[in-house]
Structure 1
Amino acid sequence: MTASFFWTRLPSGALRVVGADRRDFVQGQMTADIRSAAVPSAVPGCFLNVRGQIEFFARAYPREQDIYLHLSSSEQAQALAERLRRYIIFDQVEVQDLSAELRTLHLWGGAGLLGLDLRPGEAVTLQEPVTVLLGGVQRSGMPGLDLHYLAQQEPQLTQWLASLGAVEQPEAALEAARVEAGIPDVTRDGFAGSLIPEVGLDLGGPLPSISYRKGCYVGQEIMARLEARGQARYALGRVRTDGALPSHAEVSQGGRVVGQSGAAAGGVALARLRRDLEAGTLVEVAGQPAQVEWPGQ
C-alpha cells in the first residue's frame, strides 16, 4: 500500500500553565502575542534573556482551561519551568511539567491530513480514537500537523495511523526535509543565544515567532531597538557542498568568521550568516568548502 502520509516521533517536553492569570503571565514572558491568540491555537514564540537573546523556543497552545507549552526536550521543559517559577510573585499561576506523561509526533507529507486543513498556527482537539491535540506546524516544507497525546495511548494511536495508510519515518528523514526547506529549529540548530532576526524567527521569516505590537516581556527593549534599527547583521541562510557537512560548525571566509552552521543533512546545512554575503559565495564550514544560499533568491 502506498503511504498517504508519514508520521515521525518527536523528542519533546511539555508544560501546562494553569490559573486565573495564566494568559497575562505567559504574555509577559514570551515574544508571541498570547493574549490576542485564538482559543485554541498553536503560537510559536521565544523566551529571551535581558539581552534579547533566545533562551527557549516553544509553541504555546492557549486553551479554555490552560496554556500548553510544547518544547524540543524534557530538559528544555524543566529549565523553562524553573525560569517561569522564578517570575511568579503575586500571579495566580501554576506551572506543571507533564513531559513524562505526554508525547508528540508529527504528521507530514500530504494535503488534508486526517481530513483536516489546518494552517500553521491553527489547532483543534480530536476525540477519536483517543483524545489528541493537533496543531498546524510547518516542519518539512510540506503540510504538517503536530499531534500531542498521552504516552499510555500511543499503541492505539499508531495502530489508527497505520489503518489510514500512514508510514513511520525516522527523525533523520524529517530533519533532512526541514533543513532542505530552510525551516529553523532553535534547539536542533543550536541557535540559542542568537537574536530572533538572525535565525529566521522574525516577521517575514520562515517561522515568525514575535509580535512587535504587544506589551512588555523579558528582552522586549532590545527587540524594539532592533526593529527601529532595521535589518540585523546576520540572517538565516544555507550552506551547501557536494560532500557531507558538519553540524554546528564555524563558517569562515578568508580567515574571517562569517557565521555558524546549524543542523546538517548530508551536503546542506542551515546557517546563521552575515547578511552581506552574496548567494553563491564560497565559504568554509570547519575548513570544508561550501556555497552560500539564501532561500527565495
Structure 2
Amino acid sequence: MWTFLPSSSLRVTGADRVDFIHGQMTNDLRRAPTPGMVPCAFLNVKGQIEFFARVYRRADDLYVHLAADEAERLQARLKRYIIFDQVQLENLTGTLSTIHVWNAADLAGWDVAGADAQQFELAGQTVLGGRVNRTGQPGVDLHYLASHAGEVEAALTGPPRPLAELEAARIAAGIPDVSADHFQGVLPQEIGLDIGGQLPAISYKKGCYVGQEIMARLEARGNARHHLARLAGELTPFSEVVLDGKVVGQLGAVAGGLGLAKLRKEVADGQQVQCGAGTATVQLLNANV
C-alpha cells in the first residue's frame, strides 16, 4: 500500500550548508551519517514550533522535506539568517513528489536492514527514501522527480490508499503531525517531540539555535505542563478541550472517532472531557505512562 503525500521541499547547497541548517534546527544534523535523515523542528524565539521537517543529509546537498505550502515560508525565514554563509536555498516544490509506502518490505530496492535514509534505483529512476513511522510501523517516505511519477508509481506494490486512511492510521497509532494537527505555536515537549516522545525531534547536546534557551530551561526543570494524549468520542477537530469549565488542551485532526491533543498532564487516563459539542474519553499514550 502507498499514499501520495502533499508536501513541499527545499534543497540546500553550499560549503556551509550543514553548519548553517544545524544552527537553525532542534536536532543534531552534524552527527547524522551521509546519507542520513533527521526529524526536527524550527522554533521561534519563545521555543514554539514554526515548522516540522525531516532533513536528509546527502553527499552534495541537504534535502528538507516539509508539509504542503511551507517551503516558501521556511526559505524566507532561513534567508534572514544568511550573512557570510556559503549557502544556497532552492525551492523544489513541484519538482519533487513524495509518497509513503506503508510497509518498507513492499518497496523494491529498499534495504529493510539498511540505513534510515537510502538513495537507490526504482523503475530506472534514482529515488530517495527515508524510514518514517506514520502508521505504527516503519514505512518509507519515497521522494522522486514529479516528471517520473508514472514510472515510479507503476513499480509500487498494491493500489494507492487515500490520505484520509493514512491519517486515520496515524492518529490511531498516536503519532503527531504538526501541520495536520495544527500544532504550530506550541512547545515541542507538549506534543511528543521530546526525547522519549512519540516523535523525537530534539537534541539537548547540540549548540545554539533559535529557541534553544527555552528548550534548555525545560530540560533542566522538566516542567512542560502539557503532553500528547489521544481522545476518543464525539470530537470536533481543532477544538479546545474543556474539563469542568476550564480549557485543558487543544485537539488536532480527527479520524474514526479519535484525535490527538495537547493536554494538561493533570488530566487523568479515562477522564471525560468536552471537545466542541461532544464528549470524549482521555487515552494516555505509552510514552506518557
TM range (shorter): over 0.9
Which position in structure 1 is the counterpart of 2:230?
A: 238
Aligned match for 1:186, one of 171, 178, 181: 178
User: CA offsets, 1:152-202, max 9 Å, x none?
Assistant: 0000011111xxx32210000000000000000000000000001000100
SS in 2 for 1:36: coil
Q: TM-score, normalised by structure 1?
A: 0.93
Which position in structure 1 is the counterpart of 2:147?
A: 152
Matched, 1:89 2:83: yes
- 5 Å-filtered alignment, 1:123-138, equals 123-129=117-123, 130-138=125-133
Matched, 1:286 2:276: yes
Matched, 1:11 2:6: yes
User: CA offsets, 1:207-246, max 9 Å, x none?
Assistant: 10010000000100010000011141000001101x4x22
Aligned match for 2:102, one of 96, 100, 108: 108
Question: Contact 2:37/2:55 (CA < 8 Å) preserved in 1?
Answer: yes
Question: Contact 1:179/1:269 (CA < 8 Å) preserved in 2?
Answer: yes
Distance in 1 between residues matched to 2:45 and 2:107, nearest whole Å: 40
Which stretch shows the higher mean deviation, 105-114 or 226-235? 105-114
Distance in 2 between residues matched to 1:272 and 1:88, nearest whole Å: 34
Which position in structure 2 is the counterpart of 1:3?
A: none
Distance in 1 between residues matched to 2:59 and 2:243, nearest whole Å: 52
Alignment RMSD (CA, Å): 1.3
Q: Which runs of 5+ in 2 are unaligned?
A: none
Question: Contact 2:103/2:140 (CA < 8 Å) preserved in 1?
Answer: no
Matched, 1:176 2:168: yes
Question: Contact 2:104/2:140 (CA < 8 Å) preserved in 1?
Answer: no
- The code of the aligned residue for 2:92 comes to L
- The code of the aligned residue for 2:76 comes to E
Question: Contact 2:104/2:112 (CA < 8 Å) preserved in 1?
Answer: no
Q: Which runs of 5+ in 1 are unaligned?
A: 1-5
Question: Contact 1:111/1:143 (CA < 8 Å) preserved in 2?
Answer: no
Which position in structure 2 is the counterpart of 1:271?
A: 261
Matched, 1:21 2:16: yes
Matched, 1:261 2:251: yes
Matched, 1:250 2:240: yes
- The code of the aligned residue for 2:116 comes to E
Question: Contact 1:118/1:136 (CA < 8 Å) preserved in 2?
Answer: no
- Give the CA deviation at 1:112: 6.1
- Give the CA deviation at 1:44: 0.3
- Give the CA deviation at 1:113: 4.0
Question: Contact 1:239/1:290 (CA < 8 Å) preserved in 2?
Answer: yes
Distance in 1 between residues matched to 2:281 and 2:223, nearest whole Å: 23
Structure 1 runs of 4+ with >6 Å offset: none
User: CA offsets, 1:227-286, max 9 Å, x none?
Assistant: 011141000001101x4x221111001110000101100211000000111100000001
Q: Structure 1's 20 and 271: CA in aligned 2 closer, same or farther, altered over 3 A?
A: same
Q: How many percent of aligned residue pairs carry the same amino acid?
A: 52
Q: TM-score, normalised by structure 2?
A: 0.96
Which position in structure 2 is the counterpart of 1:224?
A: 216
SS in 1 for 2:122: coil
Question: Contact 2:122/2:155 (CA < 8 Å) preserved in 1?
Answer: no
